[in-house]
């Protein structure tokens, strides 16, 4: 099941994002933003897989 991201998803989503930052192959960002500051929230069409 796919659903829109919500604040409760923050920890898992930002952990995935952090891996991309540390691997330096998924983004040009150099730090992981807070959930509130995240560009992820700006993507209204962003979805996650639900359990």
Which pLDDT does position 43 carry in this prediction? Answer: 61
Residue 26: give the domain boundaries. 2-49
Q: CA-based diameter of the chain, in Å?
A: 32
Q: pLDDT tens digit string along 21-51?
A: 888 887 788 888 887 777 666 665 566 666 5
d(CA 15, CA 9): 10
d(CA 40, CA 28): 14
What domain count does the chain have? 1
d(CA 30, CA 14): 13
pTM across the whole model: 0.62
């Amino acid at each position: 099941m796919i659903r829109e991201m919500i604040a409760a998803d923050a920890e898992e989503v930002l952990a995935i994002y952090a891996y991309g930052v540390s691997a330096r192959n998924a983004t040009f960002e150099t730090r992981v933003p807070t959930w509130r500051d995240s560009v992820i929230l700006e993507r209204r069409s962003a979805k996650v897989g639900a359990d």
